Amino acid sequence: MIPVFCLSGEYVAFFNDSGYLFTADCQYLGWRDEEGNVWDTDGSYLGEVVDENYILRRISKMEPMTMMVKMTPPTPMTPMRHMNRVGSISRMGMKDMMQPLKRVSNPETTKT
């Protein structure tokens, strides 16, 4: 299991041992291929794995063709929740693709 964080340092998802991407609450999000590209459940390009624990998307990169949709994998056991980490520096020309999950995976961060 490989944890996935937002650049802000918040733990939001994980890759299981087969390369499938799930939210911290085990909702299926997509998969990672051998080259480190990450694909959404509908086969659309999501981004690339950077520094093993981040999914970022190059803003200037032409979007690859949609991949053939994979069968939804079995829902894994919910792993022990990872501690948040110190945030990482934003990458110029790249967008944090896990940032939208931040609100979904940790509702306390949206309370006002």
- Tens of pLDDT, residue by residue over 7-52, are 999 999 999 999 999 999 999 999 999 999 999 999 999 999 999 9
Residue 76: inside a domain: yes
Residue 51: inside a domain: yes
Q: What is the side-by-side strand order in the sheet with 2-5?
A: 2-5, 11-15, 20-23, 28-32, 37-40, 45-50, 54-58, 94-96
Domain span at residue 55 reads 2-99
Secondary structure class of 104 (helix, strand, coil): helix
Residue 43: inside a domain: yes
Residue 88: inside a domain: yes
* Confidence (pLDDT) at 45: 94
* Confidence (pLDDT) at 102: 58
Q: How many CB atoms lie within 10 A of CB 46?
A: 19
For the chain, the domain total comes to: 1
Instruction: Please say if the pLDDT value at position 103 is more than 70.
Output: no
pTM (2 d.p.): 0.82
Q: Closest Cα to residue 38, out of 12, 13, 65, 56?
A: 56
Residue 112: inside a domain: no
Residue 32: inside a domain: yes
